[in-house]
Every structure is written in structure tokens, then in C-alpha cells.
A and B are shown apart, each in its own frame.
Chain A
Amino acid sequence: MNAARAMRTRSARTLIALAAVLTAAPAGTRPLPSPAFTSPPSPYVMPATQVWNMSSGAGETRRIFLSHPTGDAPEDGYPVLYLLDADGSFAAFAETRRTLEWRKDGQMLIVGIGAIPGGMQGRQVDRLLDFIAGPLQAEIARRFRIDRRRQSLFGHSAAGAAALRTLYTRPDAFHAIVAASPAPADVSALLAEERAFAAKLRDGGIDKVSRLLMVAADREELTTVSQDAHALARRLAPLSAYGLRVRSHAYAGENHRSVPARAVTDTIRFALTWP
């Protein structure tokens, strides 16, 4: 088979596959038309949101999700809540913000960052934080007036561990950090960073430190996740003497996967609490 023929065969196959996809009923549905329709079914695109791809500056592409108020920004600019690994949590945050806006609350930006291929540990977290503090923040500021003093971070599971690493290694980068069901790949590395952070804070080496909200389910499938979160909140509590404010919740009835949805209203309240 010569190259041109192979190409034709391949594109014919692609065409057939494409046609099959387009004519097949969506999963879980039966394709019965209804006279009551005034518009055909389409996927739900959420109002007051924007999605775009941007370069991380280190050769990677990041997918960004934004939920924004309409109308004029407050004089000091909008507070910003960044969501790590946001593909499965952005919608609830965006919807809650928009509902609050109906009564003139919700004057904030929700910025989701899509899943990072290869996970989030050590240097990957550092690169991600560089991206947020650099190109991403600049892009958000180009679109909306933001209050740089009021930027918060939310992460769940592996991203929850990344949120903790952020507190330990860049304590003044955010106003508030929410670590939900933190599940670090390397527990001892995170513990070492915690010890270094605690020592530095006690020694007066940290001028400004983010506040921290820890949440976990009481039915985490990995019981160590809830146990470690609880123990960490207790260990960090005495550091209130050095300016670290920590709050924690154990969510009754929830499991690991339901924690982000359960944490939405607590997170928004925590992020918006000012000063």
C-alpha cells in the first residue's frame, strides 16, 4: 500500500468514526424526538464564565477557568480565589459565587487551574506557584481589577497537599489557604517542610503568614487522610501565638470525593473574611 493510499484509507476511517460519534446517542440516553422541544439538547455552558489555555512560561499549557461578577469592580479590586486541579470543582464555586452576587455579595473572582499532567509534588508545585504569581495573575489583572492583598488558594486531595506545601514554603503568597482532604504522595517530605516552617515562624523569620482552613470527611476511604488532617490542625494550633490562624472541620457523612462540594460555602466565607 503506497503512502497516499494509506492516507486516504486512514482519513476514510476517521470520517466513519467521526460520523458514528456524531450520530450515536449520548451515553445513557435514548434518542427520541419530542414535539415539546423548542430547542435541541446541547451541553450546559455556564453563564459568567470564561475558559482559555495559556502557556505556563515553562513550556506547558494550563487550562484556566474563570467565574466573574458583572458590573463595576469595587474600588480596591476583586478578591481572587484560585482553585487547583479545578476540573471537578470549578462549577460549584462558580455557581455559588454567582448566586451570592444576586444579592450583591459574591464580588470576587474564581480562577480554576485545570489538572496538571504528572501530578503535583515538590518542584511541580513550585512551578505551579510561579505560574500563578507570574503569568496567571498578570492575565487576570489584565481582564479585571484585582485586590492583590486578598488572594486565596483551594486544593483537594493531592492538590490539598500542594496547598499545605504552599503555606510552608511561601507563607505570605496568599491571604487564605484551604487544604481539603490533603493526600501527599510523599508524607515525610511534607512533614519536613512543616517543621522548617514552624521553626521559622517561631524564630520570627516570617513576617506575614496566610490563614489556613483544613477540612476532611469523617468517612475518608483512606483513614490516614482524616487522621493526619486532624492531627496537623492540632499541631499547628499553638502557632497562633506567632500569628498563624487555623480552623478545621471534620465533615460528617462525607467521603473523599464529596469533600470539595461540601467545602464550597465554607471556603468562600473563609476566603472573603477580611481583614
Chain B
Amino acid sequence: MNRSCRRLVFAMALLATPAVLPAQPTASTPGAGFTLPSTHIWDMAAPNGEIYRIFVSFPADGRAPPGGYPVLYVLDGNSAFAGFAEARRAQEGDPEGRSIIVGVGYPTDQPYDLRRNYDLTGGPTELGAYVKTNSRRNGGWDLFLDFLVGPLRQEIGRRYSIDPARQALFGHSLGGLFAIHSLYRRPDAFEAIIAASAATSWHDRRMQREERDFVVRLQAGKIPRVARVMMVQGEREEDLLDRWDPEDFAERMMPLSAHGLRITSETYVGEGHMTVPNRAVTDTLRFVATHR
């Protein structure tokens, strides 16, 4: 295997494989680590028994707008929540900071958990380079989507004052794949969807079919309300499909603005796969806040 090919496989595998790392201080050791102000985390069970770690960042003054706060759900919360939470807090006097951030992750101190391979995919991958990952549990994306828009949304609504009509979703890599699938499956469940470095190639043929079906329904006027979509990807994606596919997707969707679909796309100069979520933080908060 040549070097660039090895690198490609590694770049994709890293998001699906838990790195073997030595033990680190646990997040719960009192006084051991940095505490993010204005946050809550807790673990909760989905109806199917899966345990999720929920990370929440909320405005400290508690003065919610009359309609409630907008909510941004961030997938892979273990690796992406802190940047959103901190940027929200820094802009608490601005619309960008008047929101609730909900990270959805797993009970681990690692940045990623293997369970994402189940929650964010629709089955085994058909993509040759990654078929070796198919021994892992996969195919749980519809159950996970049910949890996100069902019990989790209900729980967040019980604990915080939220605007049910303004709930957004951010997903990266397989999370971006999941976000696009969510657009097709439940076009009105989120007011805004942000797909970062979306790995739609993971389910190449399947996503093409879902897209065609979505387009037909949208053009036929069968989707009365559809999420706004923001696609972001790195100029230096190690797996180039993670750049090309989202770029092409956004280009194909543009004509659907005639049927109410709003889509933007930006390829971030200098960024590789792993840094796209951090780079996307301020754009995402702006995208979510600047509505109406």
C-alpha cells in the first residue's frame, strides 16, 4: 500500500476507530480539569437502553426571549461541544449567544466513541476502502434520529425554555452523512441543518436514491417546510470525497431554491478533515441565529 493510500484509509478509519490511548484523568475528578461555565452534562438512556452523554450550554442570565431560546444540537458532543459552548458564551450579548447548545455524545472521556458507527449510519458501507469497518455495529441512524427529535428534545424542553420551531442540527463526517439523511427523512424536524465534511460517500448509492426521492417530493410540493442547509468542508480534506461530494451536492441543490430549499456551501481554506468543526463554530452560530 503506498503512502497516500495508507493515509487515506487512516484518515477515514480514525473517525470510526477508537484510538488506543493510555488512561487520562477522568473528567469527573473534582478540581482536576477546566470547568466550562454555564454548562450541564448528564447521562440519559434512550428508550432502547442506549446511554448518551448530554452536554448543555445555556445563557447565564436565564432571561429567555418570549418564544424561548433557539437550540443547536451538536453531534459527537465529546469532541465538538466545548468550542460551540465557549463561542456562544463569548457572544452572550448578541443573538449568536442567546441560544441553547446541546452536545450529544457518549459516556467516555475520549473525543469519539465507536458507537457513532451505529448511530450515524444506515447499514454497512458500500465503499471499498472502508468495507473492513463493516464488522462494527451499524445501521442505527433512524433510531438515533427518533431519540434526537423525541425523548431528548422533550427532555431539553422540560429543563430549558426553548423555541420548538427553531431547532438546528450540526454533524461532522459521519455526522454530516446523518444530517443529510435527516434532511431527507424528516425535512421539517430541524429549522437549520449544518453538515460539515459530510461523508455521504459512506452510503454512496443509497444516498443517491434518497436524494432523488427527496427532490421529487420537494418539487411535487409534498414537503411544506424544509430545513435551511449549510454545507462546510475543508480545502484539505484527507479523503477528497469529503470535499468533492458536499460541494457537488450543494451545487445540485441550488436550483431547488425555486421550491423553498435554502442551501449555502463554503470550502474552508487551509482546513483538513479534523479541524472543520472548530472552524465552523462561528459560522454555525451565525447561521442558526440569523433567522427572521
Contact = CB atoms under 8 A, between A and B. Distances in A.
B94 A27 contact: no
A71 B277 CA distance: 25
Interface in A6-62: 26-30, 32, 34, 36-51
Interface stretch (A87-95, A166-174, A177-185): A87-95
Contacts of B136: none
A70 to B, nearest CB: 5
A199 B215 CA distance: 64
B83 interface: yes
Contacts, number: 206
Contacts of A257: 90-91, 93-94
B82 A91 contact: yes
Contacts of B160: 28-30
Contacts of B51: 38
A47 B94 contact: no
B282 A262 contact: yes
Contacts of A51: 31-35
Contacts of B81: 44, 95
Interface in A198-224: none
Chain B interface main SS type: mixed
B29, B61, B110 pick with most chain A CB within 10 angstroms: B110
Q: Which of B23, B37, B83, B151 has the most CB of A within 10 A?
A: B83
Given A37-B43, A94-B82, A45 B96 contact: no
Interface residue range, chain A: 35 or more
Interface string B106-130: 0001111000000000000000000
A258 B270 contact: no
A102 B19 contact: yes
A147 interface: no
A258 to B, nearest CB: 5
B44 A102 contact: no
Contacts of A65: 34
B281 interface: yes
Contacts of B40: 26, 29, 41-44
Contacts of B277: 99
Nearest to B11: A103
Interface residues of B, number: 75
A175 interface: no
B24 A47 contact: yes
B13 to A, nearest CB: 10
Given A27-B62, A30-B160, A261-B86, A36 B111 contact: no
> Which residue of B24, B62, B278 has the most chain A CB atoms within 10 A of its CB atom?
B278
B279 A98 contact: no
A99 B100 CA distance: 23
Interface stretch (B52-60, B180-188, B204-212, B216-224): B52-60
Nearest to A68: B24
A269 B32 CA distance: 28
A255 B41 contact: no
Given A43-B35, A45-B32, A253 B283 contact: yes
A268 B22 CA distance: 24
A130 interface: no
Interface string A124-168: 000000000000000000000000000000000000000000000
A159 B133 CA distance: 47
Nearest to B59: A28
Given A98-B111, A102-B111, A45 B34 contact: yes
Residue of B59, B61, B90, B93 most packed against chain A (CB within 10 A)? B90
Contacts of A255: 91, 94
A18 B173 CA distance: 46
A275 to B, nearest CB: 19
Contacts of A271: none
Nearest to B92: A257
B275 A96 contact: yes
A100 interface: yes
Interface in A59-108: 65, 67, 70-71, 88-92, 94-96, 98-103, 105
Nearest to B44: A36
A36 B159 CA distance: 13
Contacts of B240: none
A99 B274 contact: yes
Given A95-B82, A99-B278, 6 more contacts: A28-B58, A39-B43, A44-B39, A96-B278, A100-B275, A265-B275
A-B pairs with the 7 shortest C-beta distances?
Answer: A27-B62, A261-B87, A47-B109, A28-B62, A41-B40, A44-B39, A49-B34
Interface of B: 10-11, 14, 19, 21-29, 31-45, 51, 55-56, 58-62, 64, 69, 79-83, 85-87, 89-91, 93-94, 96, 100, 109-112, 151, 155, 158-161, 270-271, 274-275, 277-279, 281-283, 285-286
8 contacts: A28-B100, A36-B45, A39-B43, A51-B31, A70-B22, A100-B275, A101-B111, A266-B270
